[in-house]
Structure 1
Amino acid sequence: MPKLDRRSLLIGSGLLLSAACSRQFATPGSAAEPDRPLPIPTLLDARQQGQVIALSAQAGKTSFYPGRPSDTFGYNGSYLGPTLRVHRGDEVKVAATNRLSADTTVHWHGLLIPGELDGGPHQPIPPGTTWRPNLPIRQPAATLLYHSHAHGLTAEQVYSGLAGMLIVTDQEEQGLGLPSDYGVDDLPLLIQDRQFQDGRLMMPAGMMTAMQGRRGDTILVNGAPNPLAAVPNRLVRLRLVNGSNARIYDLSFSDGRGFHWIGTEGGLLERSVALRSLTLAPGQRAEILVDFADGRTVSLVTGPDANASMMGMMGNTGMMGGRSGAAGLTSMTVLRFAPRPMGNSGARTSAPDLLVPRVRPDPAKAVRRRRLVLNMGMGGMMGAGGGMALTINGKPFDMGRVDERVRLGDVEIWEVSGQMMKHPIHIHGVHFDVLRRDGGRPDLLDQGARDTILVKEPVELLIRFDQPASTAPFMYHCHVLEHEDNGMMGQFTVS
């Protein structure tokens, strides 16, 4: 596992401090920085594409601020990728071409498919080549994402732009009458925080970056700072994807209005849940319904990130280099909504109470318990020799080692906990249910079928393993991408 020494720590903290102090461009929401129309990614519907989707991972230039081009990556463009829509029951052929100078992958985060199709580190796409998986779509409607999962390069490539939204739809969802006009009353919102210096995207580095993950002073939605979304003055569906490398969002509306939570990573809930705030960790997704019938302009805002706050407190002892953690310590605007009259007078006016029924695994049928601990160092942050140790169960990731072996069709209970901070654990190839959190009942936001969940205290996950992974293993890892790249990842077979 790569080790990061004290010198890297000081250099990385210094770069972040320099960026924070020298940045001259207006922050989102300030009077000097005008609103920008929310970009809506191009929609590629697999059925309209003849069940063939072509993706090209490529380098480009993106001007997040006028006249300040940044070096970026994207799929079929300079930054981020198109929204892909697939239909339950279909077979979708993908041609993913690598036009970069380094290996990459395309991981279908949340798609329930066999291990050899997963797009993890065992399916590298060398420069100048094309990967052609045939994806069977056999799961309920849900909001997913796709992104690079290249071994040791995931954090850098995702930060640079290799990510996009993937939507699964089915007849059951369509029969509910939910808002479904893509880009109008059904909005894809891929949320990221990024660091800028003089209006150009910068890549934070150093030991503190490895420890807390890359964080930024600016929030982007679909690649745009300070976005304004024009929405109908009626019920609108927001598909929220946390595409940040490390930041946890605590989302609410600036006027305190409530909304209805209708979907998790695994799909629609059985019943809608009335909320006023929602936490979203890296890799997590949520679907919500918001009523804009009052016509008032309102902002989606995020509170401080508790993980960054923990690192900020460490900064008081001199380890942070001052400003480097400040981006996560304040509340920020994510985007603004400007409702206006639009057509479709027959659209639904209220959130449905009942959504879709779901059969959960039976905990009594669990055949095995496993325990995973996401470790940060040995009783502290520094491992042997002054470097950081990021591991699971004390072992750094090894591509050649299978950590767990599971039987196809089995139900198991995995107890997962984390050290030092909250960690979003993501398990490939499965959906799971939260059975217990810290020995008690799950939290309100733990419900539904999940593939990514925040842990620090022990959390028990009930998992049924229905997808084979014998020729290529599945991953489980922290979705703070810098943790993943530096060793906080394991792998398992299913056969």
Structure 2
Amino acid sequence: MDVGDEAGNRLEAIPGTHRFTEGIAARTLGWSQDYLGPTLRMRRGRTARLTAQNHLDSAITAHWHGLHVPGRQDGGPQSLIAPGQKLEQALDIDQPAGTFWYHSHPHGRTGDQVYRGLAGMLLIEDDDTASGALPSDYGVDDIPLIVQDKAFTRRGALEYDDGGMAAMQGFRGDRIVVNGALDPAVRVPQGLVRFRLLNASNSRVYVFSFDDDRRFHQIASDAGLLPAPVPRKQLQLAPAERAEILVDFSDGAGGRLVSQDVPVQMMGGMMGGGMMGGMMGGGSGPDTRNGVFRVLDIEVDRSRPAAVTTLPRELRGAHLPTYGEPVRRRRFQLNMMMGMGMMRGMFGGRPKLGINGQSYDMGRIDQQLRLGETEIWEITADMMSHPFHVHGTSFQVLSRNGRPVEFGETGMKDVVWVENSTEILVRFDQPASVEAPFMYHCHILEHEDSGMMGQFTVS
């Protein structure tokens, strides 16, 4: 869906039934369709006008993940759309081209609603990007891949658990779904193909590679293009992270996109599968061979040459940060909240998680920031690793566990995987009020719903 200045662009949250497998329909949610939502295409320098309408029996929000918009348009938990109501928005798009997404974000229900389908991909286009140098024929050589894991009952219904130990480690399914399809396959032209990867799983971490060990090039991160293509054999994406990659199929040989099965590491032990994984709510995990599972089969149509066959040396339009010197440092510790909060999780309830020793409270402002000031945020994690997301801006990762991170390898981000400690350089150029603050939170959705989230104003 191309979203421009004109009115009439409507996203409707509706219940649906979706056939993940032939002959079996699961009850789902979607934006204007039975599962997930249309890809929204917006252009830098224009205003995107949208109406989000709620046809469900519970409140939703429309969060524009990664967009630089004011807090009143961000779609966080304070911006609820009640059943039967609608919200009209005019989003002024002024940020580099990139791959983003949108999803519902009500406190306590985000995991359930995103899992059942209230999510979709969002693309920003910019005339200053490497036009013509990159594959850009959407659905042909420029292909979105929304990757999720699901669990199904014997009757084919979606199975989901956001309490007990599933909430402690995050819910993980045992089947991989891409763009709403089980056992997916795609047919591509012969030449360079661009895949836009979105990890839209609630908690699963993917380490993508190809089964023939072929090299590919990463050209973009969460918030836009990298300065130059980065050669890789594998690529890790935590929940909510995105990446764009170029894969060369000039030899006409297809392939299979696969992922390593990354176990959940918690309390010093691996808990991603087997007996312990089942006790923790992790299930058995996808079928693996040598710890690797299938994501997508790719076939090459040799009768259709690709529009782009040469890898560019540099990527015009990559965003380079000019944030200036930081004026302060803030520290955020992601807490599993030992004690009674954790005991609730171990005995079937929802655990009480937090940041800096406090569980999320919609009535409390945790931080107050000033417009245009650059800061260093130090994020630390206890007991397990977490993907940390900041609303309303993009940031630069400075270091992981005390080691500097090369900007050219990561680019601008809005989610960072925190394994112990991470430093980011951040600045906010959009305001957020007490009535509509920005959020920072773990993007393991069960952690977010259990209180690992804070909110802040910018003025």
**Structure 2 vs 1, CA of residues 283 and 314 (structure 1 numbering), >3 Å: closer, same or farther?**
closer
Q: Shift of residue 384 of structure 1?
A: 8.1
Match of 2:159 in 1: 202
Q: Shift of residue 334 of structure 1?
A: 0.5
Match of 2:192 in 1: 235
Partners of 1:64 and 1:200 within 8 A in 2: no
Match of 1:219 in 2: 176
Matches within 5 A, 1:343-362: 343=304, 347-356=307-316, 357-362=318-323
Q: Shift of residue 377 of structure 1?
A: 2.2
Aligned: 1:321 with 2:279: yes
Partners of 1:412 and 1:464 within 8 A in 2: yes
**Structure 2 vs 1, CA of residues 445 and 477 (structure 1 numbering), >3 Å: closer, same or farther?**
farther
Aligned: 1:114 with 2:58: no
In structure 1, distance between residues paired with 2:352 and 2:242: 29
Q: Shift of residue 456 of structure 1?
A: 2.1
Matches within 5 A, 1:185-200: 185-198=141-154, 199-200=156-157
**Structure 2 vs 1, CA of residues 168 and 322 (structure 1 numbering), >3 Å: closer, same or farther?**
closer
In structure 1, distance between residues paired with 2:425 and 2:41: 29
Match of 1:493 in 2: 457
Report which stretch shifted further, 192-201 or 396-405.
Answer: 192-201
In structure 2, distance between residues paired with 1:90 and 1:77: 26
> What amino acid does structure 1 have at the position aligned with 2:15?
A
**Structure 2 vs 1, CA of residues 381 and 305 (structure 1 numbering), >3 Å: closer, same or farther?**
farther
In structure 1, distance between residues paired with 2:345 and 2:249: 56
In structure 2, distance between residues paired with 1:323 and 1:395: 25
SS at match of 1:171: coil
Matches within 5 A, 1:60-139: 60-139=16-95
In structure 1, distance between residues paired with 2:458 and 2:147: 33
SS at match of 1:45: coil
> What amino acid does structure 2 have at the position aligned with 1:373?
Q
**Structure 2 vs 1, CA of residues 104 and 311 (structure 1 numbering), >3 Å: closer, same or farther?**
farther
SS at match of 2:405: coil
Q: Shift of residue 57 of structure 1?
A: 0.3
Aligned: 1:482 with 2:442: no
Deviations 1:81-113 (A, max 9, x none): 000000000001111100000000110000110
Deviations 1:197-231 (A, max 9, x none): 22332123431111111111100000000011011
Deviations 1:410-469 (A, max 9, x none): 000000011121100000001110111111112789620000010022111000111111
Partners of 1:361 and 1:464 within 8 A in 2: no
Match of 1:375 in 2: 335
RMSD of aligned residue pairs (Cα, Å): 2.3
> What amino acid does structure 1 have at the position aligned with 2:102?
Y
In structure 2, distance between residues paired with 1:283 and 1:257: 25
Report which stretch shifted further, 55-64 or 328-337.
Answer: 328-337
Partners of 2:397 and 2:407 within 8 A in 1: no
Partners of 2:165 and 2:281 within 8 A in 1: no
Considering fraction of residues, name the structure with more helix: 1
Match of 2:372 in 1: 409
SS at match of 1:151: coil
In structure 2, distance between residues paired with 1:380 and 1:273: 46
Matches within 5 A, 1:320-469: 320-321=278-279, 324-327=282-285, 330-343=291-304, 347-356=307-316, 357-362=318-323, 365-378=325-338, 382=342, 388-442=351-405, 447-469=410-432
Partners of 1:88 and 1:168 within 8 A in 2: yes
Partners of 2:9 and 2:51 within 8 A in 1: yes
Match of 1:276 in 2: 233
**Structure 2 vs 1, CA of residues 241 and 319 (structure 1 numbering), >3 Å: closer, same or farther?**
closer
Partners of 1:434 and 1:446 within 8 A in 2: no
TM-score by length of 1: 0.86
In structure 2, distance between residues paired with 1:371 and 1:213: 24
SS at match of 1:372: strand
> What amino acid does structure 2 have at the position aligned with 1:236?
V
Match of 1:32 in 2: none
Q: Shift of residue 355 of structure 1?
A: 0.6
Partners of 2:166 and 2:282 within 8 A in 1: no
Identity across the alignment (%): 47
Partners of 2:18 and 2:25 within 8 A in 1: yes
**Structure 2 vs 1, CA of residues 407 and 108 (structure 1 numbering), >3 Å: closer, same or farther?**
same
Match of 2:243 in 1: 286
SS at match of 2:404: coil
Aligned residues: 449
Q: Shift of residue 50 of structure 1?
A: 3.6
Report which stretch shifted further, 469-478 or 408-417.
Answer: 469-478
> What amino acid does structure 2 have at the position aligned with 1:117?
Q
Q: Shift of residue 287 of structure 1?
A: 0.3
> What amino acid does structure 2 have at the position aligned with 1:339?
V
Aligned: 1:300 with 2:257: yes
Deviations 1:356-390 (A, max 9, x none): 35332356x21110000101122898258977331
Partners of 1:251 and 1:300 within 8 A in 2: yes
Partners of 2:386 and 2:417 within 8 A in 1: yes
Partners of 1:377 and 1:383 within 8 A in 2: no
Report which stretch shifted further, 248-257 or 375-384.
Answer: 375-384
**Structure 2 vs 1, CA of residues 130 and 460 (structure 1 numbering), >3 Å: closer, same or farther?**
same
**Structure 2 vs 1, CA of residues 312 and 437 (structure 1 numbering), >3 Å: closer, same or farther?**
closer
In structure 2, distance between residues paired with 1:315 and 1:193: 14
Matches within 5 A, 1:41-56: 44-47=1-4, 50=6, 52-56=8-12
In structure 1, distance between residues paired with 2:104 and 2:40: 15
In structure 1, distance between residues paired with 2:235 and 2:141: 20
SS at match of 1:482: helix
Partners of 2:263 and 2:271 within 8 A in 1: no
In structure 1, distance between residues paired with 2:256 and 2:228: 26
Report which stretch shifted further, 298-307 or 184-193.
Answer: 298-307
In structure 2, distance between residues paired with 1:350 and 1:460: 36
> What amino acid does structure 2 have at the position aligned with 1:141?
A
Deviations 1:38-85 (A, max 9, x none): xxxxxx0124x8464210000011111122111100011111000000
